[in-house]
Structure 1
Amino acid sequence: MARLQILLSEYDIVYESQKSIKGSAIADFLASRAMEEYEPLRFDFPDEYLMCIFEGESSKDQSWKMSFDGASNALGHGIGAVLVSPEGNHYPLTARLNFFCTNNIAEYEACIMGLRAAIERKIEILEVYGDSALVIYQIRGDWEVRDSKLVKYRYLVAELVKEFKEVTFHYFPKEENQLANALATLASMFKANRETEIMPLQMSIYEVPAHCFSIEKESYGRPWFHDILEYIKNQRYPEQANENDKRTIRRITAGFVLDGDILYKRGKDQMLLRCVDAVEARKILKEVHEGIFGTHAMGLLWLGRL
């Protein structure tokens, strides 16, 4: 404020601080002028026969989304684009550029690749997102295209846009364009010959570690506790067991309990854990991880049976 006062000191300006106004004064003023601009209410509704102004899905619900990105580094040039359906399905696209190009050219190439893929899918309404402010604002016409290398790209995009019923271009930060950026970086770093065909990427989501479903195959169709069960029930050793194997079986069986035909193993806290074969183990694991038994704590109890 002091700086502004010095700059405006040559003018005849008087500074006065704003005075406080009580709320009651404003209310009294409005009450005194309430009848001067009175206008009676109109209760008639001329379009009362209209029951609905618009029916059907909005263009927002039917629109696809497309994000693109280009990458140029010492290893090469790559482009990536992702088409997202209204249902949320992602369709990744990636390509490697085997010709010299700048970062802006790579961005235009990625955008054109995504637009052509959308045209092949006969998409009519498309929202395009990119993290290159120059490309987005040039396509929208907000910025002038001065680089001669980009003029033809801008013209090609304008021709492709005519194939859509409605298309909009938006700029968003690079942090929100992770998938397209990853595809472009992958294409720029991976060198493939012309004869190699690489199918689109398929991303899966695993909720549990891989070892949870890793169950060893049982030999000879017998469960893993067959020798232990035979010794406890019939005091019988395996046919080819030597003296060392027999001592090991006797030592191991001390930690097992047989109840009828069901074999249990004693835990460290003296809890009995039922021994199951591979088929039953897979069934229990599947039921636990699908949430059939409710809470995860219940699932741990079922896992304890293993």
Structure 2
Amino acid sequence: MIIRLRLIKSLEVEELLVRGDSKLVIDQIRGYCGVKNKTLMKYHAKAVEISQNFKRIILEHISWAENEKEDRLSKLATTYYSELLEGVYVEVCDQPTYKEEVIKNITSSDTTDWRTPIIEYVANEKLANDNLEEKKVQNRSFKYQIYQGELYRKSWDGSLLTP
């Protein structure tokens, strides 16, 4: 949504009708309900910020069936470019909309903190004895990688986030 809003704004559009099949997303942008996930909060804030740059914006929820054509267009990102018809242009977004903070310098810390189980699992696949804690560590550890002795969070595209 953010990329689309930016593109539309760059075309100097002043009034916009946004039709989407996710009632939750439409209601979150309208401000009818909140966003709980910290990562999604950043995307939400950016979408709201861009939306406020239009003179008038209408957000409308539609059924999935009504959005089928647009849904197919949005799936172009998974299509090989050679298969696209002439005149169909695709803008590739290779950067996240916001920057995440990097977690680093794990070797200099002698204390145990929330990173310790993740570091032990990523480095040695060593887990605590508690099954519930093991699941939590496994679920969180895929977002991290140790590189040259430092713990880095992976970006949405798998690249390591730099300080």
Normalized against structure 1, the TM-score is what? 0.27
Larger radius of gyration: 1
Compare the two structures and name the one with the higher strand fraction.
Answer: 1
Normalized against structure 2, the TM-score is what? 0.48
